[in-house]
Amino acid sequence: MALIYKVNLTSSPTPVQDNERAGILDVLRGFALLGILVINIIGFSGYGNLTVDMKQEIATYPIDKYLSALQIGLAEGKFYSIFSFLFGIGFSIILVRLKQKRHNAFKVFYRRLFYLLIIGLIHIYFLWEGDILILYALLGMLLPLFINVSNRWLLIFSGLLILSPILIDAAKMVFDFRLGGWLESIAISIDKRTGIPLDDGFRRYLYRDGSGWQEYRNWQQSGLFYRFTGILDSNRIPKVLGMFLLGYYVGRNKIYANLHQYKNLFKKILIYGLIIGIPANVGMVYSIWGENWSPGVDMLNTVAYALGVVPLALAYVTGLCLYWIKKNGQTKLLIFAPVGRMALTNYIMQTILGIIIFYEVGLGWGGYIGPALFLPFAFIIFIFQVIFSRYWLKYFSYGPIEWIWRQLTYRKRFPILKKES
């Protein structure tokens, strides 16, 4: 499907203005950030790095194991999928606007992604190894390759990419290989050099026995390599790219801007997403929860993930879209919008607050508490972000990191104070 662009030869490229924003997209970004925090706090708290024996030492373990199952079933994978989907929509919006301005569209787009990559590298090296921005920036650079692909083939490519981990993991099992093993070897060599324990002692290193900033910096030196080991081994690349393409399809067809027109389609996606997604996620919980691991169970996880994560993520999205077009729906959902407008700032803020609360360089509560106690922290942090974002946007046009990113991207100064002209 060809795109037809309006041409304005005299305009220079500018970011999306307030009156051009689609409120539902900000709501979905804010909602996705809540879900991302609910999952990332497992890493911040150190709970994901503890052995079963260590988890059983925590007083709330009888409750924690069931809360962990709910986290996996309801949140694991769903919210980065939503965010990836929104990234694809955002690409379509930026592309159309830059084409309308007729001003080095791809040059500006790639510059935007280059600075996102820089922000991601700073994030992963100085703050937290669980960064997603680097992957988004690198994969985003592939999106212009799909601008002339038809709608039908966009959906086909998206579906094939999302389901491809089934074949990839089957090949791994048959031929006994790993995609990320070489990166893990680099990470281990760095850990040996910096003195990070390589046995179960590493699980206590940062959270229970670490003594300060130097230990934290030692840990972070290998973080990039461990992160991409996980990304390769979990087949995250085709999953994210598949959601990018699905989002690009939705964006270039302006589905997000005509929600009433697609009401019946949303209802079908919601119903089928729940029918397919819930049973598949039960299988995913079984495959991850407890000590069930075997090659067969590992393959069950791959299949359940492929069949369960995206349908349930799309059920969340369409459910919110249907609620948005109901009477008074927008009023209630707009609580998420300020957080979504400052998504990059709030994403980095979640990391900083997680470090302060859980790591030894801060309060040092990590490694001692389970989901029964750290999940409330996730909601407290998000409530703080809602309040902070609303207050900030009352006086400022952009979030602080968004403001810096935009100025670097467009190579011009944008007033941040709303009273500035």
Burial class (CB in 10 A: 0-12, 13-18, 19+), 335: middle
Do 228 and 245 have their domain in common? no
- The per-residue pLDDT for 223 is 84
3-state DSSP assignment of residue 398: coil
Helix or strand (DSSP H, E) at 308: helix 295-324
Give whole-number Cα distances, 335 to 23, 185, 321, in Å. Answer: 11, 45, 15
The answer to whether residues 242 and 161 touch, using CB atoms and an 8 Å cutoff, is yes
Do 154 and 214 have their domain in common? no
Residue at 356 is within a domain: yes
**Where is the domain boundary, 234, 262, 279?**
234
- The per-residue pLDDT for 169 is 93
**pLDDT string in tens for the chain (421-residue length):** 233 223 333 345 555 554 445 799 999 999 999 999 999 999 999 888 888 888 888 999 999 999 999 999 999 999 999 999 999 999 998 887 766 666 677 888 899 999 999 999 999 998 998 999 999 999 999 999 999 999 999 999 999 999 999 999 999 988 888 898 889 889 889 888 877 766 655 555 566 555 567 777 777 888 889 899 999 999 999 999 999 999 999 999 999 999 999 999 999 999 999 999 999 999 999 888 756 667 678 888 899 999 999 999 999 999 999 999 998 889 999 999 999 999 999 999 999 999 999 887 788 888 889 999 999 999 999 999 999 999 999 999 999 999 999 999 999 999 999 875 4
Q: What is the C-alpha separation between 40 and 130, in angstroms, rounded? A: 8
- The per-residue pLDDT for 344 is 98
Tokens 């409750």 correspond to: 63
Residue at 53 is within a domain: yes
Residue at 5 is within a domain: no
Domain housing 199: 180-234
The answer to whether residues 246 and 88 touch, using CB atoms and an 8 Å cutoff, is yes
The two three-digit tokens of residue 65, written as one number:
């194991």
Neighbours of 263 (CB within 10 A): 13
Neighbours of 292 (CB within 10 A): 13
Residue at 357 is within a domain: yes
Strand partners, 417: 396
Residue at 1 is within a domain: no
Residue at 52 is within a domain: yes
Do 193 and 166 have their domain in common? no
Do 336 and 217 have their domain in common? no
Domain count, the chain: 2
**Where is the domain boundary, 210, 234, 258?**
234
Do 105 and 157 have their domain in common? yes
Residue at 13 is within a domain: no
- The per-residue pLDDT for 378 is 96
Do 55 and 92 have their domain in common? yes
Do 153 and 212 have their domain in common? no
- The per-residue pLDDT for 203 is 53
Do 152 and 197 have their domain in common? no
Do 306 and 402 have their domain in common? yes
Residue at 38 is within a domain: yes
Strand partners, 396: 417
**Where is the domain boundary, 205, 234, 263?**
234
Do 271 and 369 have their domain in common? yes
Do 279 and 200 have their domain in common? no
Do 284 and 387 have their domain in common? yes
